[in-house]
Amino acid sequence: MSALDVAAVRKDFPIIEHHASLGRPFVYLDSASSSQKPRAVIDAMSEYYETTHANVHRGVYAIAQEADARYEAARRRVARFVNAPSENEILFTKNVTEALNLVAGSWGRANLRAGDIVVLTEMEHHSNIVPWQILQEQIGFEIRWLRVTPDHVLDLSDLEQTLDGAKVLSFTAMSNVLGTIPPIRHLVDAAHAAGAIAVIDAAQYVPHLPTDVQAMGADLVAFTGHKMLGPTGIGVLWGREALLDAMPPFLGGGGMIREVRLDGFTPEGLPHKFEAGTPPIAEAIGLAVACDELDRYGMDAVWAHERRVTAYAIETLTERLGDDLVIHGPPADGDRGGVLSLGFKDIHPHDITQVLDQSGVCVRAGHHCAKPLMRCLGVGATARASFYVYNDTDDVDALADALLACADFFF
Amino acid sequence: MPGLEDLYREIILDHYRNPRNRGELPSPPAHRAEGFNPLCGDEIVLYVEVDGGGVIRDLKVGGQGCSISQSSASMMSAAVKGKTIDEARALTRAFKALMSIHESKLEGDGEPDGSGTDTPVPDPEVKLGDLEALQGVVKFPVRIKCATLSWNTLTQALDEVHQAS
pLDDT at A177 over 80: yes
The pLDDT value given to residue A160: 98
H/E segment holding residue B102? helix B85-106
CB within 8 Å: A371 and B7: no
The pLDDT value given to residue B121: 64
Which whole-number Å values give the CA distances from B43 to B13, B100, B123, B152, in the listed order? 19, 22, 29, 12
Using a CB-CB distance cutoff of 8 angstroms, which residues of chain A are in contact with residue B15? none
Summary mean pLDDT of chain A? 96
Give how far the C-alpha of residue A358 lies from the chain's centroid of Cα atoms, to the nearest Å. Answer: 28
Among B3, B40, B70, whose Cβ lies nearest the Cβ of A381?
Answer: B40
Which residues in A37-136 belong to E strands, given as ranges? 90-93, 117-121
User: Helix axis angle, B10-17 relative to B67-80, nearest 10°?
Assistant: 90
B138 pLDDT tier (thresholds 50, 70, 90): confident
pLDDT at B111 over 50: no
pLDDT at B131 over 80: yes
Q: In degrees rounded to 5, what are phi and psi of residue A333?
A: -90, 5
Q: Count the neighbouring beta carbons within 10 Å of the beta carbon of residue B93.
A: 18
CB within 8 Å: A350 and B40: yes
Indicate which of B12, B66, B139 best probes the interface with A, i.e. most A CBs within 10 Å of its own CB. Answer: B66
Weakest mean pLDDT among A174-188, A299-313, B58-72:
B58-72
Using the Cβ of B68 and the Cβ atoms of chain A, whether some distance falls under 8 Å is answered with yes
pLDDT at B107 over 60: no
- The alpha-carbon gap from B141 to the nearest alpha carbon of chain A, in Å, equals 12
Pairing of strands A220-224, A197-201: parallel
The pLDDT value given to residue A58: 78
pLDDT at B115 over 60: no
Among A348, A371, A374, whose Cβ lies nearest the Cβ of B65?
Answer: A348
The pLDDT value given to residue B38: 74
Distance CA B57, CA B2 (A): 39
The pLDDT value given to residue B122: 64
User: What number of C-beta contacts closer than 8 Å exist between A and B?
Assistant: 48
pLDDT per position as a tens digit, A306-332? 999 999 999 999 999 999 999 999 999
Distance CA A344, CA B157 (A): 33
Pairing of strands A364-366, A382-386: antiparallel
Q: Count the neighbouring beta carbons within 10 Å of the beta carbon of residue B58.
A: 16
Distance CA B124, CA A121 (A): 54
pLDDT per position as a tens digit, A79-90? 999 999 999 999
Among B3, B40, B64, whose Cβ lies nearest the Cβ of A366?
Answer: B40
Distance CA B56, CA B162 (A): 12
Peptide bond into B29 cis (omega under 30): yes
Using a CB-CB distance cutoff of 8 angstroms, which residues of chain A are in contact with residue B65? 348, 350, 380
A172-181: b (≥16 Cβ within 10 Å) or e:
bbbbbbbbbb
Which whole-number Å values give the CA distances from A349 to A187, A288, A402, B73, in the listed order? 33, 36, 13, 18
pLDDT at B14 over 90: no
pLDDT per position as a tens digit, B35-48? 988 766 788 999 99
pLDDT at A209 over 70: yes
- Residue of chain A with shortest Cα separation from B16: A410
pLDDT at A395 over 50: yes
pLDDT per position as a tens digit, A22-43? 999 999 999 999 999 999 999 9
Distance CA A58, CA A76 (A): 20
Pairing of strands B56-64, B42-50: antiparallel
Using a CB-CB distance cutoff of 8 angstroms, which residues of chain B are in contact with residue A409? 4, 8
Closest CA to B128 of B97, B80, B95: B95
Cα-based angle B58, B61, B67 (whole degrees, multiple of 5): 140
The pLDDT value given to residue B135: 84
DSSP code for A104: I
Average pLDDT over residues A154-160: 98
The pLDDT value given to residue B40: 67
Which whole-number Å values give the CA distances from B36 to B7, B49, B59, B145, in the listed order? 21, 21, 18, 10
Task: Please name the residue ranges forming H helices in A82-225.
Answer: 96-102, 109-111, 130-139, 159-163, 184-193, 213-216
pLDDT at B106 over 70: no
CB within 8 Å: A348 and B67: yes
Distance CA A234, CA A45 (A): 13
Weakest mean pLDDT among A198-202, B39-43, B56-60, B145-149:
B39-43
Average pLDDT over residues B89-114: 66
- The alpha-carbon gap from A184 to the nearest alpha carbon of chain B, in Å, equals 30
The pLDDT value given to residue B118: 54
User: Is A362 an active-site residue?
Assistant: no
H/E segment holding residue B61? strand B56-64
Distance CA A345, CA B88 (A): 34
Q: Which amino acid is it at A378?
A: G
- The alpha-carbon gap from A340 to the nearest alpha carbon of chain B, in Å, equals 18
The pLDDT value given to residue B103: 47
pLDDT at A136 over 60: yes
pLDDT at A104 over 90: yes
pLDDT at B51 over 50: yes
The pLDDT value given to residue A127: 98
Using the Cβ of B96 and the Cβ atoms of chain A, whether some distance falls under 8 Å is answered with no
Among B4, B66, B68, whose Cβ lies nearest the Cβ of A358?
Answer: B4
Q: Contact at 8 Å (CB) between B35 and B41?
A: no
Taking phi first (over 0 means left), then psi (-120 to 50 degrees means alpha), and beta for anything else, what does residue A80 get?
alpha
Indicate which of A354, A368, A375 best probes the interface with B, i.e. most B CBs within 10 Å of its own CB. Answer: A354
Q: Count the neighbouring beta carbons within 10 Å of the beta carbon of residue A20.
A: 12
The pLDDT value given to residue B128: 81
Distance CA A120, CA A62 (A): 47
pLDDT at B108 over 50: no
pLDDT at B124 over 80: no
Q: Count the neighbouring beta carbons within 10 Å of the beta carbon of residue A50.
A: 9
Reported pTM: 0.91
The pLDDT value given to residue B86: 92
The pLDDT value given to residue B129: 79
Closest CA to B151 of B104, B94, B106, B83: B94
What ipTM was reported for this prediction? Answer: 0.77
